Amino acid sequence: MAVSFLPASEPRDFRILTLTTVLYRAEVPTDSQTEQTYRMERWRAVSAGVLESAATTFLLLIAVRWFQGEALAKALIASGGSLGLVLSPWVVSRVEKARWPVSKAAAWLAGLGAAAFAVMAAVPWLPVYVAGSVLALTASSAAVPLLTQMYQENYPAQSRGRLFARTMIIRIASAAAFSELAGRALSGQLHSFRWLLVVFAAVSAFAAWCLASCPTSPLTLSGGTHPFRALRYFRDDRLFRQTIIAWMFLGFAMLMMSPLRVEYLANPRYGVRINGELLTAANIALFTSVIPNIARLVLNPLWGRLFDRMNFFVLRITLNLGFAAGIVSFFVSGTVTGLTVGAILYGISNAGADVAWSLWVTKFAPPGRVADYMSVHTFFTGVRAFIAPVVAFYLVSSVPLQTIGWISVALIAIGSAFLAAEIKFGKTGQAGGVLVEEVAE
């Protein structure tokens, strides 16, 4: 509704940012620590959106169109962030042992990503490009459990989902606007991609500054010495284990299909055309980033409120249905309308997944162990994120892409069945380890 009051002649990226301003009518928290974190997270969300477009679209697009990378190079870039997720329990254990405030440790990781992008821009050689992409994405994803601990520490439980969703609005708008602008800039002049890498380096450095300005405490000492000791929670907590198993099916399906969205549109082999012409970089960015991010932008505040109030497992199953329908529409329909509908459904479902994936452990873990629980979640995410794109790119060489889409839908259905069995444990307000204690009894 807000968009309808804007002149139709305005550039699309301007309309996206204006919509963000209209949706972002929220009171600023009054607690000083919450207020400082909330303020710096809003600034960091701008850089996070730019970096999200790098991970979802531009790094892989450059590898396909400029470097003409083979399957291994594309798979490594697509699964680059998975290494950081797998290493996240080790990162959490090192940060705990060093007694670093979690936000400062996350700032160092963002700085490492900035250095990687700078080297990639300076040395435009495929091996350096692939290694730099993997390192930058690794550093970013390894910080996720530290950020979740920061939200647990600084955001009140009753409004955590809403505060997180509000910063996500800025991140989504930034991703959509930047994707539009960068897609246009690269169309017909892909040789200028090095300047894009310089931008990625700069925003990574800015993110490091924002994180260093957030007030946090060192992690609570657990007394353990094994660097992957947090994995014991997967063994000991039945409900947590069941949810992780369900997420393995769901996540594997989505991580197979996500990079194939760019492959499907960018590779002439699939014959995707608009008015008889192969898609430009701007067209690809439109379907893989701009349209999904506009849908995310509009629905993100709603999902943030639902996360605070709704049965978590019902919420997650609802999102799964949206993802499954989006896969069928995007990959199976074979029409521009299908691409558009699939992109919208992906964006709507991803808006809820942003909140659910990032914050769900705060409903299950004891407050002092949120980083540990999240590191287990990110570890298993990393395992599937590393394997799924490799499987996808090698399957697509011999199996019709539409068949791979139906396989993914079946995996989503299996994961949803696991979650359905646990609905009785997903009551609203069961946070801070209450569920863990109930199951233990």
- Reported as type and span, the H/E element at residue 274 is strand 273-274
| 43-217+229-440: CATH, from 1.20.1250.20, 3.40.50.150, 1.10.760.10, 1.10.3720.10 | 1.20.1250.20
Q: What is the pLDDT of residue 29?
A: 53
Q: What is the reported pLDDT for 269? A: 80
* Collapsed DSSP state (helix, strand, coil) of residue 400: coil
Structure tokens at 347: 């964006």
Domain parsing of the chain, residue ranges = 43-217+229-440
Residue with tokens 């307000």: 429
pLDDT digits (tens), the chain, 441 positions: 232 323 333 444 444 444 444 444 444 455 788 899 999 999 999 999 999 888 878 898 888 888 877 778 887 887 778 888 889 999 999 998 889 999 999 999 999 999 999 999 999 889 999 999 999 999 999 999 999 999 989 998 888 888 998 898 898 789 878 988 888 888 778 788 999 999 999 999 999 999 999 999 998 766 666 667 778 888 888 888 999 999 999 989 988 888 788 888 887 887 777 777 777 777 888 888 788 878 878 888 888 888 888 888 999 999 999 999 999 998 887 778 889 999 999 999 988 988 888 888 888 888 778 888 999 998 998 888 778 877 887 888 888 888 888 999 999 999 999 998 888 776 543 433 434 433 332
Encoded tokens for 50: 């730019």
Per the listing, tokens 């919509």 go with 19
User: Tokens representing 59?
Assistant: 């790094």
Q: Which of 59, 79, 178 is nearest to 120 (CA)?
A: 59
Q: How confident is the model at residue 91, as a pLDDT? A: 92
**54 closest CA partner among 181, 205, 207, 179:** 179
Instruction: Answer yes or no: are the C-beta atoms of 305 and 415 closer than 8 Å.
Output: no
d(CA 15, CA 190): 26
Q: Taking each helix axis from N to C terminus, what angle separates 401-420 and 312-327, rounded to the nearest 10 degrees?
A: 170
Token representation of residue 371: 């980083």
Look at residue 273 and give its three-state secondary structure.
Answer: strand
Two tokens at 278? 């192969």
The residue assigned the tokens 């380890």 is 433
Residue 300 to residue 231: CA distance in whole angstroms = 31
Q: How far, in Å, CA of 261 to CA of 328, rounded?
A: 12
Could you tell me how many helices (H) and strands (E) the chain has, helices first? 19, 2
Determine how many CB atoms are found less than 10 A away from the CB of residue 120. 27
Residue 427: its pLDDT value, please? 59
Which pTM does this prediction carry?
0.75
Cα Rg for the chain, rounded, in angstroms?
21
Q: How far apart are CA 306 and CA 314, in angstroms?
A: 10
Alpha-carbon distance of 348 to 359, in angstroms, equals 18
* CA 110/CA 416 separation, integer angstroms: 34
What are the residues whose beta carbons fall under 8 Å from the beta carbon of 410, sequence distance 6 or more?
none
Phi, psi angles (nearest 5°) of residue 105:
-65, -40
Task: List, in order, residues 6 or more apart from 185 with CB less than 8 Å away.
Answer: 192, 196
> What's the DSSP call for residue 66?
T
Cα separation, 278 vs 265, in Å, equals 8
